[in-house]
Structure 1
Amino acid sequence: MKNLKTIICLLAICFVAITSCKKDERDLNESINSTGSLSIPQNSQSIKLTPANALATQQFKWTAASPEDGGLILYEVAFDKENGDFSKPMYKVVSDGGGVQPQVTISHKDLTKVAALCGINSSSTGNIKWTVIASKATNRKAGQESRILQLERPAGFAEVPTELYITGSATETGEDLSKAIKMKKLEEGIFEIYTTLKPGSYQLVDKTTSGGKKFFTEGSLVKEGTSAVTVTGSSKVYYLKYDFNVATVVDAVEVQSLGLYMSAYGNEIGKLTYASNGTWQSGNIPVVFFQFSWGRDERYKFAMHTSAGIRYLGSSNVNNVSPVGQGASYFYLNAVTNDQWNNTYKFDPSADNKNVKVLLNLNASGPYTHTVTTQ
């Protein structure tokens, strides 16, 4: 009898525990009464896009949606072609605050992508349409209101390459795409290269494997396509610079010679010869520090003679110190003015009345730099 009472008590306890673990259940209310009205930008507002300006943005705002139970609503701004119905938006972006705020700020760079997806070409103006999609759980509701936005695209690409290479029979590495020469990326969408071009043709590509995008130049414009640039005449060293933000050839000049310029003499004391892949090297160059009343002067920089005039390469420091004990950054090369004394380097004291050999590197492998070796 005692055991039976124990069993009955245990069963009673289990029943209470089970019933107490049950939670109240109710259906989730996913209803959205209203998706709110659009406020900014105004209908048919015109925006002149400047994607190269990282600070250029456009704000989109609307009134908050109204859920029946006060629950959380998330928002997306959807863009479509002018005649689209948002069933398959061309582009969507989540609102600020991870989707909870009734506003979003979109860069001109991203709006340029939207324009391209909606069929607006570079250097053209066209209309797109936008609305707000509200969602709660699995319920998504597009706004009853939509607005037209007129976008003016500048010359340039909606998506600029992250890397750029040059390839073709006119280049130093020939037509083997896997050996295409990498250009130096200066900033987003801007690339440059020092290289030899010989009779033949070349293209610009964003990959060294098949399937990448191809570009060519036509006058001062950069265009996407399979056409190639033809090179005639003798083999020459060139400096090429491209800005894909505005689809423009910024610079294309012949590099005729490169000299080691010594400030105190106001002249070049030796020449460097182009080797390959953006590098120049010298033979033995005699160095004699200039004798002033206060001491011997050892300052130098480089003079690059181009078809557009002389350009100087030197130190980022206006007034420099001795290279002894300095790190690699001391020898980094920068575009500098033609000032006789400023932004120069100093030879190692051991170079006085000796020969030096200079190696100058202007390729994409790292910072532009040079080395000076005393012989």
Structure 2
Amino acid sequence: MKHIYIKIVFLLAVILTVGACKEEDNLQPEGLWDLSVPSIVAPENNAKIVLDENNASELITFNWTPATSSLGYGVYYSVIIVDAENPDYENPLMEITAENGGKGLSASVSYEDLDTALSLAGFNANTDVNLMWAAVAKSLSKEEMGTGNLTVTRFENEIIPTQLFISGTATESGTDMAQAISLRRLNNSEGNPSNIYEMYTSLTAGNTFMFYSEQSLPAHKYGGAEDVLVKNGNPISVAENGEYRITVNLDNNTYSLLKIDRWNVKGSPIIGGWGSDEPLKYIGGGVWQATMDLVNTGGFLFRADVPNEGYWNYLLKRVVGTANEVIMESQAGDQGLSYEDIPSEVKGTMIVTLDLSSNAYTYSIEKDPNAAEPIETPETLYLFVNNTMIEEMTKDEDIFKNSNYLALQNGDVVTLNTASDGTGTSFTMFANIGATDSPNDVKVSVNSDLSAGSDAINVERDQAYSFSVDFANAKFTWSYYNIFLFHWDEVNQKWDDRDEFLLTYVHPYKFTTTASLKAGFDMKFFSPWDNDFGANNPSALTGTMTNHGGSNFRNITTDGSYNISIEITNDYASATYKFAK
């Protein structure tokens, strides 16, 4: 047994010794051998190559002498190209594997591929780029390289991407390039893709963004300033938080930022019709949405409120021949499209969505699942003010309206009843007449849920009101007009430079203001464009005027400050006026 034990110990010692010898042999490739440096052959050092975009497939071939391992290990080659001004061999502009699976002594790249790499690196077209190229030899863990200088002239014309994305701290998606938001590529008048891109999105002030040709790097990058687009330029920023239309033109290297305060629905279906607006709320991703009451059928459009721009400058209408695609009216011709007002045949409380994300430019109208339930429509409905019956309202199917604009004061109380003596069924709403955040709009309209009940409806603003009571949609709507005096130099065609003086309502049916007026200027009283009062005697300082009739006032012969007052009839058909210095 003892002899067996000794033999086992001896055998283990031999195995360990042999293993140690083999481990020492395996270390030799790591440090006890050499790899020679390959020498460049072509292009020779300091060569200059002009890339010809008319021969974009032409090849540049790099050659070098072989590198050898002192122990005969296999050697593999590649070519790397770096910026001579800032050489970074760990992150080269381009890396090309040698022929024959990396074993050859040459590697080739086309003019087009090299030009693309230089463009992605930020070098401008038709410029000389100072480069260094290296023939890199690798054998196991060893690496050696031979280098040479090379000057390359880029293609005469810049590469123009066929897609664009936005990314940065100012954007909705932040700095994650994989989440960069795409811009919409617009068509030209022939219906083919142009080099103009746009998007609707929100931006935050104090942060920055850039445009990219890909959702990952490398990519063409664009920054700039003051509407000039610069490849690899400084990041762009905005002065105010908000929603913007961004336009990028790669043909002339410009960009524009149009701040949009809000999108509105405007047209026949909404309360107040064409004289009113229903605002949409931005919900992100280029989408605006709102719940609103559509009280009539007919056409409408989307109108943008843009600071310091005309009221009708930015309108979205339906593309002719489509179900629900929209186009900016002012852009339709440039894209070879025709447009029309958006038709609507639905009534009720609806969710209206305007989708201006890059793949959409559409609208939708859907019934609000949370809308109030209809109320059975009575045969008659009477309007009371301070417990005095004013009139029987006019019925049109499920909707009752008052016949004329009713002058009410703060503190008045309105009630609705199906009987002329107030003994029938009463209806109410739980909001005050005249309560609004936008009292100076052209036509102010507000609707609230209608319900059965005898609670009085309070008035909180002096004005002349129109009422609409819709039982099918359980809505009570009140509205009133503001009146503006437009004052402009007609002789010199200065309509766009006009003054618009808002008049103050004075109970009952009067409007007044004090304004500085110019001799010889034309004037008219407007609630644009529902009311348009023209003078029956244009040169008189006092007199009568007709809605949608008469002529422009031209009654001021001396510059100065004037007290102006008008008194309208309760149907807004006519009015009297007075100008006093």
TM-score normalized with structure 2 length: 0.36
In 2, Cα distance between equivalents of 1:203 and 1:137: 47
Query: What is residue 192 of structure 1 aligned with on the other side?
Result: 198
The alignment partner of 1:300 has SS state of: coil
Unaligned ranges ≥5, structure 1: 50-54, 168-172, 208-212, 262-267, 289-297, 312-334
Q: Based on CA coordinates, which of the two structures has the bigger radius of gyration?
A: 2
In 2, Cα distance between equivalents of 1:107 and 1:251: 32
Q: 1:226 to 1:151 in 2, by over 3 A?
A: closer
In 2, Cα distance between equivalents of 1:218 and 1:156: 23
One of 4, 7, 16 as aligned partner of 1:9: 7
Give deviations 1:7-45, integer Å, cap 9, x for gaps: 4433443344345444272733332263453369x9422
- Give me the CA root mean square deviation: 6.0
Unaligned ranges ≥5, structure 2: 186-194, 212-220, 268-273, 299-320, 369-581
Q: 1:280 to 1:302 in 2, by over 3 A?
A: farther
Letter in 2 for 1:359: T
The alignment partner of 2:34 has SS state of: coil
Query: What is residue 97 of structure 2 aligned with on the other side?
Result: 96
Query: What is residue 153 of structure 2 aligned with on the other side?
Result: 150
One of 285, 290, 294 as aligned partner of 1:284: 294
Superposed, 1:120-199 pairs within 5 Å as 120=123, 122=124, 125-131=127-133, 132-137=135-140, 139-143=142-146, 145-151=148-154, 163-164=167-168, 184-186=181-183, 192-194=198-200
Query: What is residue 360 of structure 1 aligned with on the other side?
Result: 354
- Once the 2 structures are TM-superposed, how far is the Cα of residue 368 of structure 1 from its aligned partner? 5.4
Give deviations 1:262-308, integer Å, cap 9, x for gaps: xxxxxx9x9875544642656516458xxxxxxxxx97334434444
The alignment partner of 1:37 has SS state of: strand
Query: What is residue 36 of structure 2 aligned with on the other side?
Result: 32
- Once the 2 structures are TM-superposed, how far is the Cα of residue 126 of structure 1 from its aligned partner? 1.8
* Alignment length (residue pairs): 288
- Once the 2 structures are TM-superposed, how far is the Cα of residue 163 of structure 1 from its aligned partner? 0.8
- Once the 2 structures are TM-superposed, how far is the Cα of residue 143 of structure 1 from its aligned partner? 2.0
The alignment partner of 2:51 has SS state of: strand
In 2, Cα distance between equivalents of 1:145 and 1:206: 35
Q: 1:283 to 1:141 in 2, by over 3 A?
A: same
Query: What is residue 79 of structure 1 aligned with on the other side?
Result: 82
Query: Which of 134-143 and 213-222 deviates more?
Result: 213-222
Q: 1:242 to 1:76 in 2, by over 3 A?
A: same
In 1, Cα distance between equivalents of 2:116 and 2:366: 47
Superposed, 1:1-375 pairs within 5 Å as 3-21=1-19, 22-23=21-22, 25=25, 27-28=28-29, 29-32=33-36, 34-35=38-39, 37-38=41-42, 43-47=47-51, 61-63=62-64, 65-68=66-69, 69-81=72-84, 91=92, 93-96=94-97, 100=102, 102-103=106-107, 105=109, 106=113, 108-114=115-121, 116=122, 120=123, 122=124, 125-131=127-133, 132-137=135-140, 139-143=142-146, 145-151=148-154, 163-164=167-168, 184-186=181-183, 192-194=198-200, 205-206=209-210, 215-219=223-227, 221-222=229-230, 224-225=233-234, 239-242=245-248, 248-249=253-254, 273=279, 275-276=281-282, 278=286, 279=288, 283-284=293-294, 286-287=296-297, 300-309=323-332, 337-338=337-338, 354-355=347-348, 357-363=351-357, 370-374=363-367
In 1, Cα distance between equivalents of 2:227 and 2:338: 30
In 2, Cα distance between equivalents of 1:16 and 1:354: 97
In 2, Cα distance between equivalents of 1:64 and 1:190: 49
Identity %: 12
The alignment partner of 2:7 has SS state of: helix
Q: 1:222 to 1:308 in 2, by over 3 A?
A: farther
- Once the 2 structures are TM-superposed, how far is the Cα of residue 125 of structure 1 from its aligned partner? 0.8
In the alignment, is the contact (CA less than 8 A) between 1:75 and 1:100 conserved in 2? yes
In the alignment, is the contact (CA less than 8 A) between 1:194 and 1:237 conserved in 2? yes
In the alignment, is the contact (CA less than 8 A) between 2:38 and 2:136 conserved in 1? no
Letter in 1 for 2:254: V
- Once the 2 structures are TM-superposed, how far is the Cα of residue 57 of structure 1 from its aligned partner? 10
Query: What is residue 542 of structure 2 aligned with on the other side?
Result: none
The alignment partner of 2:151 has SS state of: strand
The alignment partner of 1:9 has SS state of: helix
In 2, Cα distance between equivalents of 1:195 and 1:48: 40
Letter in 1 for 2:12: C
- If asked which structure has higher relative contact order (CA below 8 Å, sep 6+), I would say 1
The alignment partner of 2:198 has SS state of: strand
Q: 1:253 to 1:142 in 2, by over 3 A?
A: same
